[in-house]
Structure 1
Amino acid sequence: MDNEIESVLNEKMSLISNIPIIQGYYLVIGGGKIGSNFVDYARTNGFPFVLILDINRAAPAAKKAVEIQDKQKLVNILKNPDYRTNGNIYFYNAGLEIVPFILSYGIPEFIIPAVPYHAAAKLVSYYANSQNQNLIKEISIVSDNSDGMKFFEQLESEFPKDIVAGKYPEHGIIMLSYARKGEICPDNCMSPEGYCPNFNRVKLKTITQHVKDLTDTKTGWVFESYQMKQGIGGLKGEDFKIITLDIMGYVKKVCEGRRNETFFIATTCNCHGVVNLFSLR
């Protein structure tokens, strides 16, 4: 392994290891319909501290929060515990790329992804990669004979066909769901484990369990989304920290052996999931 790469990975892992988990802190990535809904829920239940991020300053959730005007004010709020109490709800106009910076001041009790892409997978890639070296990248499969395509097909074949809602080998993505084509889950569903009351469907396993079972034979990690309220799920900050460190440790080990590897990162709940394939070279 290149000494510079090893040094950068060691430094990042050390920093993440020392970041505390802050109870009562909720980071919402996306201020659209779901983010706005969560703000209402947080205010009703008196959550101590909510921070919403969105690249659109006019996002619906922004209208329900105090806007942070500049980065220094954001830092002051993140560093000062007094700001993180009494039901404060803030909005900051930024995209996902700022999240590692925000998390460096403390990892929230829950991270609520409310964006139309796989936030957890992209965040892990931000941590693993550096300005000078992209150690991991999302697979873009362009040939049926590629190693990536073989891994993709093996992974897909492990899932029951009726839960594969979409497969996009050109992006290395498999979408999973107990809802079938044309079915739309209602916003007020609590996603019970064993049975879908909306479509009268038995679920022998949750989507989370289906994907976790794959980790016995395939290299991969699963971020589980927990039901916060009807229609909204969140990742536990503690889980995010542990899994991110585990993935970075794996990246370091593979780089030391100078091997090529393919693995997956998934985010799942009882009823739905997204699986992203990555290559490490």
Structure 2
Amino acid sequence: MDEKELLISCIDRELALLDELPVINGYALVIGGGKVGTRFIQNTSSERFPLVLTIDIDSEAEASGISEVVEDQKKLSSILRQKIEILEKNGHRSQKNGIPLNRNYFYRCDTGIIKYILSHGIPECIVPAVPVHIAAQLISDIMTFPLKYQQDAEIVRTSGPSIPVREFTVSDSDPAKKNFFNNFVSNLPEHIILSQYPEKGIIVLSYTKGDEMCPDHCSGYSGYCPFFERDKPRDTIDYVMELKSFHPGWVFESYQIGAGLGGISGNDVKKNLLDALKYVRNIYSMGNERNIDGNMGHVFFVGTSCKCHGILNLFYLNNTNITDFGSYS
């Protein structure tokens, strides 16, 4: 088995594992235990979300004060297995049936553990409450394998290849990549482009301007923003979804959980992760790992968006022909 065949085998194994993971109704993963994460805990009921796990790198984050603190990864794994089993059997009825189910848990860690957490079962709702594009990290992380999860909850990297996914970064000395980035951005209307960072391959979208801040109680409006008295011809999510019609990409829609609170559907997370892996598998199985669509390299985007805001990250496969990206506009 050569390296490419081994890589495809690893992708198939990852696809099989991911496909078997259930989406657990009533389970929410909150990424960030500060103001927004804490507000989610306080403003959602135990009947709607009987299990809430909050993670944060700061052990003294606000959410830790209203949650049971989990001390180590082995304990975290044990809690997740136990609580998820209860939810799968009883769903939202767990509390009403008298089954003891503590709702709020807090674990100190960085976002690198998210893939491990998901390996126990995918939450119905993932709440990004940190200044990081979580969806982009999920897509990137799902391609860093092979990983295996042992019974003692340790993560062990095994030998073997990994998909060479890299951030699509642009420098002034690379006109081909700069041209590609500019062409990509040109497919978005100027009135929703808040900022762009070609050196990081990031585009930030918003109907707000400058230092404007949406109020905490905003519920997200289509057509017109009453807070800034601004017309909205289309929702931002519509513009982002439209990008998929001419370029590979995966979009995570942030939906309204409550006023000022947004979350990503676990079903969307599972589908996008599966589709991303299938996309890469197809590239390698067809022998097209060098280029695609003639002279364009294998560049793809990951986006998260709601009605008013959005963020896009560009990535590429590292062993594709990055000297000639061409234009697709």
TM exceeds 0.5?
Answer: yes
**TM-aligned CA deviation for residue 146 of structure 1:** 4.1
Give the counterpart letter for 1:271 in structure 2. C
Identity of aligned residues (%): 38
**TM-aligned CA deviation for residue 150 of structure 1:** 2.3
**TM-aligned CA deviation for residue 152 of structure 1:** 1.3
Q: Give distance in 1, aligned partners of 2:32 and 2:38.
A: 9
**Of 62, 72, 75, which aligns to 2:74?**
72
Q: Give distance in 2, aligned partners of 1:269 and 1:156.
A: 18
Give the match for residue 2 of structure 1. Answer: 4
Give the match for residue 19 of structure 2. Answer: 17
What is the number of equivalent residue pairs in this alignment? 281
1:25/1:110 contact within 8 Å kept = yes
Greater Cα shift, 132-141 or 170-179: 132-141
**Of 199, 214, 220, which aligns to 1:191?**
220
**TM-aligned CA deviation for residue 143 of structure 1:** 3.4
Which of the pair has more CA radius of gyration?
2
Q: Give distance in 2, aligned partners of 1:41 and 1:151.
A: 43
Give the TM-score, by structure 1 length: 0.95
1:96/1:123 contact within 8 Å kept = no
1:167-190 CA deviation, whole Å, 9 max, x = no partner? 100000000000011211111100
1:24/1:109 contact within 8 Å kept = yes
**TM-aligned CA deviation for residue 74 of structure 1:** 1.0
Greater Cα shift, 42-51 or 237-246: 42-51
2:7/2:163 contact within 8 Å kept = no
Q: Give distance in 2, aligned partners of 1:45 and 1:201.
A: 37
Equivalent positions of 1:114-193 (< 5 A) are 114-130=129-145, 132-143=161-172, 145-193=174-222
Q: Give distance in 1, aligned partners of 2:231 and 2:273.
A: 33
Give the match for residue 263 of structure 1. Answer: 300
2:221/2:307 contact within 8 Å kept = yes
Structure 2: where are the runs of 5+ without partners? 88-93, 96-101, 146-156, 291-296, 320-329
Give the match for residue 260 of structure 2. Answer: 231
Q: Give distance in 2, aligned partners of 1:44 and 1:17.
A: 28
Cα distance change on mapping 1:227 and 1:96 into 2, 3 Å: same
- SS of the residue 1:2 aligns to: helix
1:190-234 CA deviation, whole Å, 9 max, x = no partner? 011221111111111111000111111122111000011111110
Give the TM-score, by structure 2 length: 0.81
Give the match for residue 325 of structure 2. Answer: none
Give the counterpart letter for 1:245 in structure 2. L
Query: Is 2:240 aligned against 1:219?
Result: no
Give the counterpart letter for 2:121 in structure 1. G
Give the match for residue 111 of structure 1. Answer: 126
Greater Cα shift, 73-82 or 165-174: 73-82
Give the match for residue 52 of structure 1. Answer: 54
Structure 1: where are the runs of 5+ without partners? none
Q: Give distance in 2, aligned partners of 1:248 and 1:219.
A: 12
2:31/2:129 contact within 8 Å kept = yes
Give the counterpart letter for 2:258 in structure 1. K
**TM-aligned CA deviation for residue 129 of structure 1:** 2.2
Q: Give distance in 1, aligned partners of 2:123 and 2:65.
A: 22
Greater Cα shift, 75-84 or 122-131: 75-84
